[in-house]
């Protein structure tokens, strides 16, 4: 058994022995102590060991049951795939086919697809005979699918030691805040949330896992903020992980006295660029927000601001398990806790991973990001602009929900915008644009814009499954609208 996995398992047994009444996880199904958690996990691990080989696919909503099976696969050393509920049917089929999965536990929405793929119900599972075995990199514990910039998700193979070392460092980073109630807001199939739950268990904290609809979360980018904010308040959560758009909703609610900071002690934010102005708003209301950075290929978190080591504008210092250096062209390179390989490709042999992100490290060791290397455009004046930087300023204003900025070879930058409230008048959107421009240098400002006729979405191919803009598709889809914008 890998060292970090053995440590994690022994720690859970220690909590079960020494803290008999401490609640480890709670959800709609009830509350489970650490002893009950281990009993549930061990029973499922025994079941998995009795099954034929092949990866286990979990396509379940957030809840204790999903955690039990995930930990069971980890302890049984069975490769596991967790499919986010927002994946399309085509993406689900791809995950099943590419991974060579033999057993699936899923929600009702996937049953017809599994039947079409030759799976039959067998006790708790949907199962099929293992065909030609898919070659996985040695030591693969989890295959996490990242949608990237195309519609077909890519399988990132990770070892248990890499994931659990990251989780251990996350727990250490949050330890000064001593959070004891953790609410899982993001889908468990998102690696960052998966490891956030592990970190909470390492801390001996109570993990709260509820169905996404109960938290107001729908698909990859739909949020009922009233329901989400109510769930956060009622949970008594002391820590959680958010993406920038969710953080903006939380901050706005506190600013408007709709809710209070309450018991929140450690709010981690990542997944996309965070506007410094949004972080300043969080500080002004006393919300303890800590921005971080990572990617699936590096087992999620690489750097993180933390209590006593925080600098606005940066994504924090690299965690102890990794090394970071900057290439000659400004690309961020990372060593430590790397993926074993992509599914269907040769194992990774390089000690340094080229992240595709541009950035720099200051004299005190804080990492700063300047956006994606491949998304950068050059204006006709020769200025390099990363659109994600500008889009983050626009969408975290509290008015604009979606922004797409373009300026390749052009004298001025233009944008396509969709407001949070579709009834928002153009004058209000213009004010938000000017407010964002005030914090940007001239060459990065939006000089003209148009309102999108409808929001960007996965359905029309303009968003990836995890809600990021597919830039080439947007340019093609809205070529007429963009060309109509006067410069």
Q: Where exactly are the structural domains of the chain?
A: 1-372, 376-483
Kindly state the tokens that stand for 220: 């990859």
**What letters, b where the CB count within 10 A reaches 16 and e where it falls short, cover 150-171?**
ebebbbbbbbbbbbbbbbbbbb
Residue that has been written with the tokens 């909470």 in this structure = 200
Residue with tokens 């200051």: 362
Distance CA 465, CA 470 (A): 10
Low-confidence ranges of the chain (pLDDT < 50): 148-151
Question: Could you give the dihedral angle defined by the CA atoms of residues 143, 75, 11 and 240, in that order, rounded to the nearest 10 degrees?
Answer: 30
Query: What does the angle CA 133 – CA 138 – CA 141 come to, to the nearest 5 degrees?
Result: 90
217, two tokens: 């979360």
Q: Assign domain 1-372 one CATH number from 3.40.50.300, 3.40.50.12780, 3.40.50.2300, 3.40.190.80.
A: 3.40.50.12780
Number of H helices, E strands in the chain: 14, 28
- Please report where in the chains the tokens 């009795």 appear, as a residue: 50
**In this structure, what DSSP letter does residue 408 have?**
T
* The two structure tokens encoding residue 317: 């210092």
Q: Tell me the C-alpha distance between 304 and 322, whole Å.
A: 12
Residue 274: its pLDDT value, please? Answer: 84
- Look at residues 314, 382, 326, 402 and name the one whose alpha carbon lies nearest to residue 357: 326
Give the per-residue pLDDT at 37.
Answer: 97
10 Å CB burial of residue 256 (0-12, 13-18, 19+) is exposed
Q: Which of 290, 237, 291, 292 is nearest to 260 (CA)?
A: 237
Residue by residue, DSSP assigns 255-308 as HTTSS--TT--EEEE-SS---HHHHHHHHHTT--EEEEEEEGGGTEEEEE-BTT
Asked if 53 and 102 count as a contact pair (C-beta separation under 8 A), the reply is yes
From the list 17, 23, 70, the residue with the least C-alpha distance to 204 is 23
Kindly report the length of the chain. Answer: 487
Q: What does the pLDDT read at residue 150?
A: 42
Cα–Cα distance for residue pair 32/22, rounded to 1 Å? 9
The top-level CATH class assigned to 376-483 is: alpha beta
Phi, psi for 131 (deg, rounded to 5): -85, -135
């Amino acid at each position: 058994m890998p060292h970090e996995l053995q440590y994690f398992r022994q720690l859970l047994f220690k909590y079960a022995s020494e803290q008999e009444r401490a609640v480890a996880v709670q959800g709609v199904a009830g509350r489970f102590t650490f002893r009950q958690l281990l009993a549930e996990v061990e029973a499922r691990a025994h079941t998995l060991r009795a099954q034929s080989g092949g990866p286990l696919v979990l396509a379940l909503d957030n809840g204790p049951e999903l955690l039990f099976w995930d930990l069971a696969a980890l302890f049984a050393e069975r490769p596991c795939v967790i499919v986010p509920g927002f994946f399309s049917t085509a993406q689900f089929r791809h995950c099943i086919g590419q991974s060579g999965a033999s057993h699936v536990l899923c929600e009702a929405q996937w049953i017809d697809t599994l039947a079409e793929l030759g799976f039959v119900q067998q006790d708790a599972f949907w199962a099929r005979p293992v065909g030609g075995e898919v070659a996985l990199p040695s030591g693969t514990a989890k295959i996490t699918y990242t949608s990237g910039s195309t519609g077909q998700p890519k399988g990132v193979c990770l070892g248990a030691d890499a994931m659990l070392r990251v989780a251990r460092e996350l727990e250490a980073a949050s330890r000064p805040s001593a959070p004891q109630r953790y609410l899982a807001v993001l889908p468990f199939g998102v690696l960052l949330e998966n490891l956030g739950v592990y970190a909470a268990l390492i801390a001996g904290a109570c993990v709260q896992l509820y169905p996404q609809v109960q938290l107001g979360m729908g698909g990859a980018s739909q949020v009922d903020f009233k329901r989400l904010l109510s769930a956060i308040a009622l949970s008594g959560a002391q820590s959680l992980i958010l993406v920038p758009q969710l953080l903006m909703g939380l901050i706005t609610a506190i600013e408007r006295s709709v809710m209070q900071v309450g018991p929140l002690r450690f709010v981690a934010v990542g997944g996309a660029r965070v506007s410094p102005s949004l972080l300043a708003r969080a500080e002004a209301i006393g919300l303890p927000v800590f921005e971080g950075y990572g990617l699936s290929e590096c087992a999620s978190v690489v750097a993180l601001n933390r209590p006593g080591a925080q600098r606005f504008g940066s994504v924090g210092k690299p965690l102890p398990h990794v090394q970071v250096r900057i290439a000659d062209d400004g690309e961020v390179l990372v060593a430590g806790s790397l993926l074993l390989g992509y599914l269907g490709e040769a194992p990774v042999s390089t000690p340094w991973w080229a992240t595709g992100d541009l950035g720099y490290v200051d004299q005190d060791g804080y990492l700063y990001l300047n956006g994606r290397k491949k998304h950068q455009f050059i204006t006709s004046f020769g200025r390099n602009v990363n659109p994600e930087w500008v889009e983050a300023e626009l969408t975290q204003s509290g008015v604009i929900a979606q922004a797409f900025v373009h300026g390749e070879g052009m004298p001025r930058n233009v944008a396509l915008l969709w407001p949070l409230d579709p009834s928002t008048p153009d004058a209000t959107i213009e004010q938000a644009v000017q407010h964002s421009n005030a914090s940007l240098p001239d060459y990065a400002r939006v000089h003209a814009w148009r309102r999108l006729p409808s929001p960007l979405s996965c359905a029309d191919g303009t968003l990836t499954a995890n809600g990021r803009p597919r830039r080439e598709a947007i340019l093609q889809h809205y070529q007429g609208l963009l060309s109509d914008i006067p410069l």
